[in-house]
Amino acid sequence: MNEMKFAVLIDGDNVAPKYLKAILDEVADNGVATYKRVYTDWTSLARQGWKKVMLEHSVMPVQQYSYTTGKNATDSAMIIDAMDILYTGNVDGFYLCTSDSDFTRLAARLREAGKFVVGVGEAKTPSAFRSACNSFKLLEVISNDDSSEDEPSQKNTGKNKKKEYALTPIKEIKSSIYKIIDENSNKGKDTYIGEIGSRLMNKYPDFDVRNYGCTKLSTFLEDKMPNLVLQHKNSSTVISIQNADIDKKDVENEIIAILIRHGSICNNMAVINEELKQWNANFSAKKFGYSKFSSFLQSFDTSSFEIDADQNSVKLKDNFTNS
């Protein structure tokens, strides 16, 4: 088995030495670190904490003097080295460890060259850099560190306040998962857990189940989306949407009743969705295999109501109203 080879380049001005072991452990889970370098001005007394951990993990310090106050020379040195390594052709990817958005263009350029780029930074890392990478990891999460050097003290934030990270909203993640399952179902294909993981990573570089308190994708799906069914098949796990425990004909009759209460027309499909949930707390369009409520409504082969998707409205048909 050929392991991926990575160049691990660390911005010593923006990454604390306490994170070094966690970074290298993360790399080891995905391949081999062929280059391990930390860039900063080592003449600064503020960098002395790096010495011991770099010796323990055989990491090379790269000296970059701060020639001008207020200018970050470390960025330039790290970028030049990254391009030199790229042209040697000796690595499959890069770990760019920084919380600085100045490396956004570098990440994009390395990806353009066909390299796999993993960004590693603190929660404060701008979204531009995160999106430029194939994958982005939070230092606080991979190191199990809930504190931050930039975080205000406890007395200012309230006792035991839990730190929140800027993550892709869970609602958006769920919607994407339902869409993947729907697309495969329409093609008569099974949805394997590996496909869900890879497609989420492609769409959201910062997606990592550890960000949401889980260690495995299967745990994440079971915990966050209880209406999914996980079944073992062909040495893997197939994901499907749990069958509804409500008869679809009963739902149709309730939709008709809702429209009658609204004077035969409802100009907002979301209102119907909410009233169906009030009618039966177990109702969900996703349990019937639809990621969107509008798609669920359009699935009815009925002569009782019609849908205007452009106007987001549903109304009883004339022949039904007059009957």
Tens-place pLDDT, residues 187-205: 888 899 999 999 999 899 9
The reply to whether 130 and 30 lie within a common domain is: yes
* pLDDT higher than threshold 70 for residue 321: no
pLDDT at 168 (0 to 100): 82
User: Is 163 part of a structural domain of the chain?
Assistant: no
**Looking at per-residue confidence, does 322 or 308 come out higher?**
308
Give the number of domains in the chain: 3
User: Taking residues 162-181, what's their average pLDDT?
Assistant: 79
The reply to whether 237 and 200 lie within a common domain is: yes
Pick from 200, 220, 241: which residue ends a domain?
Answer: 241
* pLDDT higher than threshold 80 for residue 46: no
First-last CA distance in the chain: 71
The reply to whether 14 and 125 lie within a common domain is: yes
Q: Sort 149 into a burial class: Cβ within 10 Å, 0-12 / 13-18 / 19+.
A: exposed
The reply to whether 103 and 138 lie within a common domain is: yes
The reply to whether 139 and 69 lie within a common domain is: yes
User: Is 165 part of a structural domain of the chain?
Assistant: no
How confident is residue 322, by pLDDT bands cut at 50, 70 and 90?
low
The reply to whether 14 and 148 lie within a common domain is: yes
pLDDT at 284 (0 to 100): 81
Pick from 215, 241, 267: which residue ends a domain?
Answer: 241
How confident is residue 76, by pLDDT bands cut at 50, 70 and 90?
confident
Pick from 241, 268, 291: which residue ends a domain?
Answer: 241
Chain segment 227-271, per-residue pLDDT in tens = 888 998 888 899 988 766 788 888 989 999 999 999 999 999 999
Chain segment 272-316, per-residue pLDDT in tens = 999 998 988 778 887 777 778 888 888 887 778 888 878 888 989
The reply to whether 289 and 186 lie within a common domain is: no
pLDDT at 179 (0 to 100): 86
Lowest mean pLDDT among 2-6, 74-78, 221-225: 74-78
User: Is 162 part of a structural domain of the chain?
Assistant: no
User: What distance in Å separates the CA atoms of residue 53 and residue 12, rounded to the nearest whole number?
Assistant: 13
The reply to whether 66 and 135 lie within a common domain is: yes
**Looking at per-residue confidence, does 322 or 23 come out higher?**
23
pLDDT at 96 (0 to 100): 97
* pLDDT higher than threshold 80 for residue 2: no
User: Is 164 part of a structural domain of the chain?
Assistant: no
How confident is residue 164, by pLDDT bands cut at 50, 70 and 90?
low
| CATH classification of the domain holding 187 | 3.30.420.610
**Looking at per-residue confidence, does 224 or 110 come out higher?**
110
How confident is residue 148, by pLDDT bands cut at 50, 70 and 90?
very low
User: Is 209 part of a structural domain of the chain?
Assistant: yes
| CATH classification of the domain holding 54 | 3.40.50.1010
Chain segment 149-160, per-residue pLDDT in tens = 444 333 444 444
Chain segment 96-138, per-residue pLDDT in tens = 999 989 999 999 999 999 999 999 999 999 999 999 999 999 9
* pLDDT higher than threshold 80 for residue 143: yes
Question: pTM, whole model, 2 decimals?
Answer: 0.69
Segments forming the whole domain that contains residue 122:
4-157
